[in-house]
Chains A and B, each alone.
Chain A
């Protein structure tokens, strides 16, 4: 009987999803958008262009083929960008002061949006949605391969000539891929080879050193798996090598029950799962990380991950501005937010950081060749089996 249980559940869900109308999302300061794939997979959410951090998705719901629509995230947005030009002695934070949102957000036209321009009820479109094929989503032996697609939303901000494309990719199979693409104009040069890379400027034919820059992108993710019950749990997975046991790697799963900072452990294949009380969840896969950022001035920036209990006014890892609170108790940084508080009965917030270095070359002049920094949230036991084999 055990093996029939998931099929029965799935059938119930199917029937329920056919009967129950999709309720409207509670988009308090955003606009509801959705996208359905041919397979029946669907994403629904509220899209917001925030004055501080540009693109934000709220009330993000995923519906696998044959499943019902279930909430994954309450908020997903950038929590900060730190830009450190290597000849400077410290990094600049780009969220706040209209460096990413507000007037930094650019109006898009069809020439830079190969999909649908989204106005979100405003006169100008500053959001674009597109659909891209992602190649073979699944293939087994002689069975016909399944082709996958990704629905993408992006905004474009400009900061001192740099272009920052903030994008969130929502795949047919439930993957969520936030990314930032750096492009635009690089204008900073140096005469120190330790701090820059040599190139010939095509505008004036001068030989110059383009200043290298390190960018740290921190994403804030407020999870609300399958609703707002505040029953989500964050777990850390480790697979430490036991040399004395002939190279075995036992899996250890540790709940993160208080607010904490964590780092990637490459050799232990560390990762983090967020699950609801039924075990349905997502996995934060740190695979697309090259190294951990170092910073002497900001303690929080030395960590790849922070886990905090949800507080609506803790939105940015540094330079967190006063928002809705009248008591002025939300100022500060992620260093202040992580204070050891219990995660019980609260929505977990994951602050995930990844860093990349821009090393200039001739290809970056006059406009920087795009540099993408991306990571993925992967459904992890979100459905009892692959939902695509039921449908196709």
Chain B
């Protein structure tokens, strides 16, 4: 999408907003079989258009995410695998599978219910070749008493290119995360009769064949269009360094021009794509996605032969004819040939942006690869930043904090056994666990609120008790005096729930109950 078109779209969107008309762009620009829409149990929704192309196969466009209880937000203008580069260790052959062969058309494998047992098959032309599967992902979050699994919309197809079968996969999670992945399976492709070569391995059962090691380099192209406007996205790089004082400090760099970047050996790096950024340092109002390169045990760098392999992450101005990370000019003769050339100093300000990311996997043949390989998965995740107002899966308005019963000030003597049970109540019925700060040395508190042990040093301790339902906390403070005198312990229950304020609290609760009853009656009467 060029600048002018992007400007016009943004302008139209703004005008429509001002007119108060429903936002036509708040939904994908497609319908019928071309539209994928999936609503999860938590109310979150993903919507997108899809098509299968001869070269890239699955191209997703107009990708929208709707968080629970929120309106739809555009995330991506388009997303696709932009090259599948395979470099053999003997350097005799290099493949660019997307542009040399293609992942779509005749290379797409027809799928059956056996391949897609948990989902639905989508038809490309007349053949079922894409599996749409709603699956359970990893945990959204986990505490000792609660956990919620993320759900995901998974789309995958299988492309048979030579002996390899590539499972091209996209996952869209209910928490807003997105994860493109490739599974490499099928069979080993290249071998040599010269078993003395140091570029591969001889596998059991065939002493006359050397199977060659090789690297798969997957390049994805992601045209982010976060929010209403496609031309206000901003990309930053965050780099964490160990400071002289031992703290770890993060430097944020806002990209003004097209960039090509690498991961760092020992400085954690991440790249963020923001829906606009008013200042150079992101604030709590800024929303976006983060790409954290955590899948980088291997990276192919042979810049002398293929300059673009020096880099892992690129930001360019989105240009429709810059489609492939390498061999681009084969199909776009008026454009440059590879992604490092696309990075030529253009300003990213007021421009539609495309992000390119690559992940490498070096494959050393093993016996288990005969005859058909077990799938090796590679990919990355784009995690949402401030896209939701709180932890996905938790509605904090539905949760009440626990209440700790009154705790009287305590006293005991050194060496005397202590056995003090604290109590708490949670109106939601959630499990409650206790912790304590500044208990006298020798005393311990259990999750259930039982303080036991015997103090071993004298003094007055200001103790803070925390009770939590794993989402919200309650605190109470009291003092604990440990004397040197005759051993006398503290063995009791930490008060009835209402303690000395009991009668007043009971009276107050009774009043509140009657008022609530009256209010309900009024609602019924109306």
Q: Please report A residues at the B interface, Cβ cutoff 8 Å.
A: 2-3, 5-7, 84, 86-90, 103, 106-107, 109, 111-112, 114, 132-133, 135-145, 147-148, 156, 158, 161, 163, 165, 173-174, 181, 183-185, 193-195, 197-200, 202-203, 207-208, 212, 214, 237, 239, 241, 243, 245-252, 264, 266-267, 269, 271, 283, 285-297, 355-357, 359, 361-370, 372-373, 378-389
- Chain A residues within an 8 Å CB radius of B472: 203, 366
CB distance from B113 to the nearest CB of A (A): 9
Q: Name the residue among A107, A288, A357 with the largest chain B CB count within 10 angstroms.
A: A357
**How many angstroms from the CA of A138 to the CA of B164 in the assembled complex?**
11
| Residue in A250, A289, A369 whose Cβ sees the most chain B Cβ within 10 Å | A369
B284 & A199 in contact (Cβ 8 Å cutoff): yes
Indicate if B455 sits at the interface (CB-CB under 8 A). Answer: no
Contacts of A364 in B (CB 8 A): 391
Closest B residue to A291 by CB, please name it. B268
Residues of A within 8 A of B387 (CB): 362-363
B115 touches A214 (CB 8 A): no
In contact, B213 and A251 (Cβ under 8 angstroms): yes
Please measure, in the bound complex, the distance between the C-alpha atom of A109 and the C-alpha atom of B362, giving whole angstroms. Answer: 41
In the complex with contacts A139-B185, A194-B249, A288-B295, A214-B145 CB distance below 8 A:
no
Considering the complex, give the chain A residue whose CB is closest to the CB of B208.
A2
Stretch at the interface among B199-207, B322-330, B513-521: B199-207
Q: Which one, B138, B206, B248, B269, contacts A181 given CB within 8 A? A: B138
Note all chain A residues with C-beta closer than 8 A to B410: none
Q: Is B142's CB under 8 angstroms from A269's CB?
A: no
B137-180: contact bitstring with A at CB < 8 Å (1 yes, 0 no)? 01111111111010000001010100001010100000110000
Q: A214-B240, A251-B200, A370-B139 are in contact. List 13 more A-B contacts (CB 8 A).
A: A86-B247, A140-B160, A183-B141, A195-B247, A197-B282, A243-B304, A247-B87, A247-B305, A251-B89, A357-B270, A363-B390, A379-B368, A382-B368
Checking B156, B283, B296, B386 against A363 with a beta-carbon cut-off of 8 angstroms, the contacting residue is B386
Q: Which of A133, A245, A381 contacts B204 (CB 8 A)?
A: A381
Are B143's CB and A183's CB within 8 A?
yes
In the complex, the answer to whether B142 meets A112 with C-beta atoms within 8 Å is yes
Q: Which residues of A contact B526 (CB under 8 A)?
A: none
Binding site for A on B (CB under 8 A): 87, 89-91, 109-112, 114-115, 117-118, 135-136, 138-147, 149, 156, 158, 160, 165, 167, 169, 175-176, 183, 185-187, 198-201, 203-207, 213, 215, 238, 240, 242, 245-251, 263-270, 281-286, 290, 292-299, 301-302, 304-305, 361-362, 364, 366-375, 378, 383-392, 394, 396, 446-447, 468, 470-472
Q: Which B residues lie within 8 Å of A388 (CB)? A: 374
- The reply to whether B299 and A266 contact each other, CB–CB distance below 8 Å, is yes
Q: Which residues of B contact A199 (CB under 8 A)?
A: 284, 386
Question: CB-CB < 8 A to A109: which residues of B?
Answer: 145
Q: B242 to chain A: which residues have CB within 8 Å?
A: 294-296
Using CB atoms, name the residue of chain A closest to B118: A133
Pairwise interchain contact B297-A264, C-beta atoms closer than 8 A = yes
Give A161 to B468 CA distance when docked, in angstroms: 9
Chain A residues, CB < 8 A from B269: 291
User: Please, which residue of chain A has its CB at the minimum distance from the CB of B164?
Assistant: A140
A385 touching B284 by the CB < 8 A rule? no
Pairwise interchain contact B267-A291, C-beta atoms closer than 8 A = yes
CA distance A199 to B207 in the complex (A): 60
Q: Show 13 residue pairs from A and B whose CB-CB distance is below 8 angstroms, ordered by the A residue.
A: A86-B248, A112-B144, A147-B117, A195-B247, A247-B305, A251-B198, A266-B299, A267-B299, A291-B264, A292-B266, A293-B266, A361-B384, A384-B204
Q: A residues within 8 A CB of B391?
A: 363-369
* Chain A: minimal CB distance from B252 (Å): 8
Give the residues in chain B near A2, CB-CB below 8 Å: 205-207
CA distance A250 to B264 in the complex (A): 25
| Contacts A173-B374, A287-B297; A381 near B366 (Cβ below 8 A) | yes
- Give the shortest distance, in Å, between B127 (CB) and chain A (any CB): 11
Closest partner residue, chain A, to B94 (CB atom): A247
Select A386's contact among B136, B368, B385, beta carbons within 8 Å: B368
Complex contact A214–B187 (CB within 8 A): no
- Give the distance to chain A from B196, nearest Cβ to Cβ, in Å: 11
CB distance from A277 to the nearest CB of B (A): 15
Contact yes or no, A367 B470, CB < 8 A: yes
Compute how far the CA of A208 lies from the CA of B283 in the bound complex, rounded to whole angstroms.
Answer: 9
Give chain A residues whose Cβ lies under 8 Å from the Cβ of B203: 381
Contact partner of B205 among A5, A208, A246, A357, CB < 8 A?
Answer: A5
Known: A200-B284, A200-B389. A89 touches B149 (CB 8 A): no
A289 with B142, Cβ < 8 A, contacts A212-B250, A385-B367 known = no
CA distance A207 to B396 in the complex (A): 17
* Given A138-B373, A173-B374, A369-B140, CB of A359 within 8 Å of CB of B247: no
A327 to chain B, nearest CB (A): 29
Are A389 and B240 in contact (CB-based, < 8 A)?
no
Q: Decide: B263 and A252 in contact? CB cutoff 8 A.
A: no
- Beyond A6-B205, A144-B115, whether A365 also contacts B390 by CB under 8 A is yes
Chain B residues, Cβ within 8 Å of A290: 263, 268, 292-296
CB distance from B269 to the nearest CB of A (A): 7
- Docked-complex contact B390 and A248, CB < 8 angstroms: no
Shortest B57–chain A CB gap in Å is 15
Contacts of B372 in A (CB 8 A): 138-140, 143, 386, 389
* Of the residues A193, A373, A380, contact of B366 by C-beta under 8 Å: A380
A143, A203, A361 interface centre (most CB from chain B within 10 Å): A361
Q: Are A366 and B394 in contact (CB under 8 A)?
A: yes
Q: How far is the CA of A286 from the CA of B246 in the complex (A)?
A: 27
Q: Nearest 6 pairs between A and B by C-beta?
A: A89-B246, A286-B297, A250-B198, A202-B390, A269-B362, A106-B144
Contact yes or no, A136 B204, CB < 8 A: no
Give the complex CA separation of A32 and B248 in angstroms.
43
Given A136-B375, A241-B302, A363-B387: A145 in contact with B115 (beta carbons within 8 A): yes
Is A287 a contact of B361 with CB atoms below 8 Å? yes
| CB–CB B298/A269 < 8 A | yes
**Bound complex: CA A104 to CA B383 (Å):** 29
Contacts of A7 in B (CB 8 A): 205
A74 to B294, CA, bound (A): 29
Instruction: Provide the bound-state CA to CA distance between A183 and B391, in Å.
Output: 11
Collect the chain A residues with CB atoms within 8 Å of residue B290's CB.
359
Taking CB atoms, residues of chain A closer than 8 Å to B267 are: 291, 294
Specify which of A163, A286, A363 lies most central, judged by the most chain B CB atoms within 10 Å of its CB: A363
Closest chain B residue, CB of each to CB of A267: B301
Chain A residues positioned under 8 Å from B238 (CB to CB): 359
What residue in chain A is nearest B249 (Cβ atoms)? A194
Assembled-state Cα–Cα distance A313/B187 (Å): 44
Nearest opposing residue in chain B for A203, CB measure: B396
Most buried by A among B114, B115, B141, B245: B141
Identify which of A137, A145, A285 gathers the most chain B CB atoms within 10 Å of its CB. A145
Say yes or no: B268 contacts A385, CB within 8 Å: no
Q: Contacts A88-B247, A114-B149, A138-B374 given: A383-B368 contact, CB under 8 Å?
A: yes
> In angstroms, how far is the closest chain B Cβ from the Cβ of A274?
13
> In the complex, what residues of A have CB within 8 A of residue B268's CB?
214, 290-291, 355-357
A271/B364 contact (C-beta < 8 A), A109-B145, A165-B139, A199-B386 known: yes
Cβ of A239: which chain B residues have Cβ within 8 Å of it? 89, 213, 362
Contacts of A5 in B (CB 8 A): 205
Question: Which A residues touch B114, using CB under 8 A?
Answer: 144-145, 147
List the B residue with the shortest CB-CB distance to A162.
Answer: B143
A368 vs B140: C-alpha distance when bound (angstroms)? 9
Chain B residues lying within 8 Å of A369, measured Cβ to Cβ, are 140-141, 175, 383, 391-392
Q: How far is the CA of A135 from the CA of B156 in the complex (A)?
A: 10
Measured between C-beta atoms, what is the minimum distance from A266 to chain B in Å? Answer: 5
Hey, which chain A residues are within 8 Å of B142, CB to CB?
A: 112, 156, 163, 165, 181, 183-184, 370
